[in-house]
């Protein structure tokens, strides 16, 4: 089923408001006379948003976009609140509020089902004689509701509501909330890593299937930096359950440094990563409490023989690589693994060691670099292996950072949109729900106007591609006129403030269509811009010049003539620039004329104006 209409008695800043979401019918609830009025929707076009219409690039013909609705309005009108109301409807949470509301769905048989709260008594005025069923809200079958998905890249103080199997929240607020609710990995670096990991897997798993649809070139490499630990040794002695273990790690670090210095080997990236992995083991084992796991750890440490006679090794190049790391660290980790009984401890130790081996086996890294690069695709899947083992090795201490070279915030924002929806493809395919409701809050944020123009088109094609065999309804809030220009006005919900509450303007005047409309017209009409389309600061500066030229003395104008001319020269609108130029010329011209000449010029202008009026009347 897809949403067609909702009416709520009260919800946050909405009081007795109804909203149509497009479709063949429009509904209006008259609470004064207790009537639900049914009308045909003007300009409705069947299958208007189907991605296969006029588009040969769509790869899957099994999915369809049943409807797209945009919610636009001034800041503070509650665009996001309306999305949250839809979310609660899908999750069946609205009924718990015990407020009157009406929800109308259109089912697969093209029938309209009107669900309402029990206290509402109304008749349906149906002159079109369409098939409409009226039911109590409690009769909604949860399995018939669409699978809900909510996305936004916006991060603010808004509390993310609980999520469940009926509704998947992939917003930044929700993901951060879930990430920091765990004692493990609770850091922005950890969250960033989780996002980057999904982006990498999205690109690799799709095998460039959708990479070509992204409007920028994806990097073929990724940069990997070392993240320095924070106060890993600053632990109270009372809480230091294993000072011997920590001392052992510090001694190993010192030995590594001494070996490099004795052999006059440059302290390269591989050295620093080896030192950092040891720090990482210290942080992780402190939190895991390795002493409880390894009761005889002191004996284990004493029995580990990692003596390495460097005097017998003359191959310094070999020493710089895997041999040194293996000799000084791998034996240590292998012995700990051997004596560990805790699965979690073993996974941290083993995966940390694998990360170390992968990095040590890489080609030489320049000493002056503080990062290394890995290709997105290679025969050994090195990047995939590194990410897999790194992810397992980290519970509390993120010691690597993955960065896309050269991507802007807007490009990363778009990549997030693609990636997060892609994560849900298997969830959607396994559910028995045929319908998906996608809610996107200001999806165009951080996008250049060119990308804003393309957003609706790309969403229609991308969502229908990844959610195969589903019917998808898309509802998005927007502050962009480009979004409105892609939709008929019957698919746009206009919100406006009125006396402290938000009202829905069902439809603008007939001459104010939104689809393929001029952007300036949309800004003035659909987005309710006041005082024209010019910036407030520019308008103020121009008004100051007009006041000076019209109302101030000629002497003051002459003093500021150069300033006025400079401002007029930078005005982009030719009509305004020309008018101000004429006003200035009149002031300057009259200043240099005698009284008789001024009178003659004014009389000539007056006669010209009278002649123009006579011509207009004829």
**Could you read off the pLDDT of 467-498 as tens digits, one per residue?**
988 999 999 998 888 888 888 888 989 888 87
Structure confidence at residue 135 (pLDDT): 93
For the cut 60, the answer to whether the pLDDT of residue 148 exceeds it is yes
Query: What is the tens place of the pLDDT at every residue in 419-435?
Result: 999 989 888 888 888 99
Mean pLDDT highest for which of 262-276, 311-325, 600-614?
262-276
Structure confidence at residue 304 (pLDDT): 61
**Out of 63-67, 392-396, 531-535, which region has the weakest mean confidence (pLDDT)?**
531-535
Query: Sorting pLDDT into bands at 50, 70 and 90, what band is 5?
Result: very high
Query: What is the tens place of the pLDDT at every residue in 373-410?
Result: 888 888 888 888 898 899 888 888 888 888 888 888 88
- Residue from 277, 285, 181, 291 nearest 229 by CA: 277
What is this structure's pTM? Answer: 0.80
Q: Which residues does 22 contact at the CB level (< 8 Å), separation at least 6?
A: 4, 41, 44, 67, 68, 69, 488, 490, 491
Average pLDDT over residues 324-338: 69
Structure confidence at residue 380 (pLDDT): 80
Can you say how many angstroms the Cα of residue 187 is from the centroid of all Cα atoms in its chain?
19
How far is residue 582 from each of residues 215, 352, 489, 587, 597, measured CA to CA in Å?
47, 76, 42, 9, 18
Give the per-residue SS3 of 193-229. Answer: HHHHHHHHHHHHHHCCCCHHHCCCCCCCEEEEEECCC
Which comes out higher in pLDDT, residue 68 or 450?
A: 68
Give the residue carrying structure tokens 């600053």: 234
Give the residue carrying structure tokens 């006129």: 481
Structure confidence at residue 427 (pLDDT): 86
Give the helix/strand (H/E) hosting 24: none
Mean pLDDT highest for which of 394-403, 530-539, 593-602?
394-403
Give the helix/strand (H/E) hosting 423: helix 409-423
Structure confidence at residue 236 (pLDDT): 44
Structure confidence at residue 301 (pLDDT): 66
Average pLDDT over residues 455-466: 89
d(CA 21, CA 593): 67
- Residue from 27, 7, 36 nearest 99 by CA: 7
DSSP code for 446: T
Task: Give CB contacts under 8 A, 24+ apart, made by 213-220.
Answer: 213/57, 213/458, 213/461, 213/462, 214/414, 214/415, 214/418, 215/414, 215/451, 215/454, 215/458, 216/407, 216/411, 216/414, 218/376, 218/415, 219/376, 219/404, 219/405, 219/406, 219/407, 220/375, 220/376, 220/377
Give the per-residue SS3 of 68-92. Answer: EEEEEECCCCCHHHHHHHHHHHHCC
Average pLDDT over residues 358-384: 78
Mean pLDDT highest for which of 53-57, 178-182, 256-260?
256-260
Query: What is the tens place of the pLDDT at every residue in 76-129?
Result: 888 999 999 998 888 877 655 557 899 999 988 889 999 999 889 999 999 999
For the cut 60, the answer to whether the pLDDT of residue 231 exceeds it is no
Query: Sorting pLDDT into bands at 50, 70 and 90, what band is 310?
Result: very low
Structure confidence at residue 76 (pLDDT): 82
For the cut 90, the answer to whether the pLDDT of residue 515 exceeds it is no
Query: What is the tens place of the pLDDT at every residue in 550-563?
Result: 888 878 888 888 88
For the cut 70, the answer to whether the pLDDT of residue 528 exceeds it is no
Give the residue carrying structure tokens 């040194």: 324
Quick check: 447 and 414 in contact, CB under 8 A? Answer: yes
């Amino acid at each position: 089923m897809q949403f067609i209409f909702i009416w709520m008695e009260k919800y946050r800043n909405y009081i007795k408001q109804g909203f149509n979401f497009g479709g063949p019918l429009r509904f209006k609830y008259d609470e004064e006379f207790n009537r639900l009025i049914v009308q045909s929707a003007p300009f409705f076009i069947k299958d208007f948003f189907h991605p296969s219409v006029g588009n040969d690039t769509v790869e899957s013909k099994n999915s369809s976009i049943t409807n797209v609705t945009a919610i636009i309005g001034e800041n503070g009108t509650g665009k996001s609140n309306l999305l949250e109301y839809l979310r609660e409807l899908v999750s069946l949470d609205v009924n718990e509020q015990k407020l009157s509301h009406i929800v109308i769905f259109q089912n697969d048989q093209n029938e309209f089902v009107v669900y309402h709260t029990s206290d509402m008594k109304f008749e349906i005025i149906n002159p079109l004689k369409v098939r409409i069923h009226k039911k109590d809200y409690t009769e909604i079958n949860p399995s018939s509701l669409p699978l809900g998905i909510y996305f936004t890249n916006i991060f603010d103080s808004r509390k993310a509501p609980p999520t469940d199997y009926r509704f998947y929240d992939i917003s930044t607020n929700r993901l951060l909330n879930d990430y920091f609710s765990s004692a493990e990995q609770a850091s922005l670096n950890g969250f960033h890593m989780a996002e980057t990991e999904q982006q990498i897997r999205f690109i690799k798993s799709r095998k460039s299937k959708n990479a070509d649809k992204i409007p920028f070139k994806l990097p073929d490499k990724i940069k990997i930096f070392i993240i320095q630990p924070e106060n890993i040794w600053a632990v109270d002695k009372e809480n230091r359950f294993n000072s011997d273990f920590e001392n052992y790690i510090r001694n190993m670090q010192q030995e590594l440094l001494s070996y490099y210095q004795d052999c006059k080997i440059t302290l390269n990236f591989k050295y620093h990563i080896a030192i950092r992995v040891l720090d990482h083991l210290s942080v992780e084992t402190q939190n895991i409490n390795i002493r409880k796991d390894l009761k005889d750890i002191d004996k284990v440490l004493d029995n580990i023989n990692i003596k390495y006679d460097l005097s017998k090794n003359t191959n310094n190049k070999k020493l710089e690589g895997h041999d040194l790391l293996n000799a000084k660290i791998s034996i240590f980790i292998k012995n700990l693994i051997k004596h560990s009984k805790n699965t979690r401890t073993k996974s941290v130790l083993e995966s940390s060691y694998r990360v170390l081996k992968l990095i040590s086996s890489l080609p030489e890294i320049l000493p002056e670099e503080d990062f290394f690069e890995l290709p997105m695709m290679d025969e050994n899947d090195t990047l995939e292996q590194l990410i897999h083992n790194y992810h397992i090795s980290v519970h509390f201490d993120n010691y690597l950072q993955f960065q896309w070279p050269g991507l802007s915030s807007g490009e990363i924002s778009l990549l997030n949109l693609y990636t997060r929806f892609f994560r849900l493809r298997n969830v959607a395919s396994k559910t028995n729900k045929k319908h998906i409701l996608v809610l996107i809050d200001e999806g165009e944020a951080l996008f250049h106007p060119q990308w804003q123009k393309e957003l609706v088109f790309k969403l229609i094609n991308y969502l229908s591609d990844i959610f195969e065999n589903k019917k998808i309804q898309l509802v998005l809030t927007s502050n962009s006129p480009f979004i409105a220009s892609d939709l008929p006005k019957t698919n746009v919900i206009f919100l406006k403030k009125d006396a402290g509450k938000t009202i829905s303007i069902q439809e603008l005047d007939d001459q104010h269509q939104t689809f393929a409309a001029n952007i300036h017209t949309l800004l003035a009409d659909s987005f309710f811009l006041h005082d024209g389309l010019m910036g407030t600061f520019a308008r103020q500066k121009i008004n100051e010049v007009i006041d000076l030229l019209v109302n101030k003395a000629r002497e003051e104008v002459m003093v500021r003539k150069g300033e006025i001319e400079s401002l007029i020269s930078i005005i982009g609108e030719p009509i305004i620039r020309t008018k101000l130029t004429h006003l200035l010329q009149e002031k300057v011209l009259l200043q240099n004329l005698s009284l008789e000449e001024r009178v003659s010029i004014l009389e000539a202008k007056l006669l010209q104006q009278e002649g123009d009026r006579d011509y207009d009347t004829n």
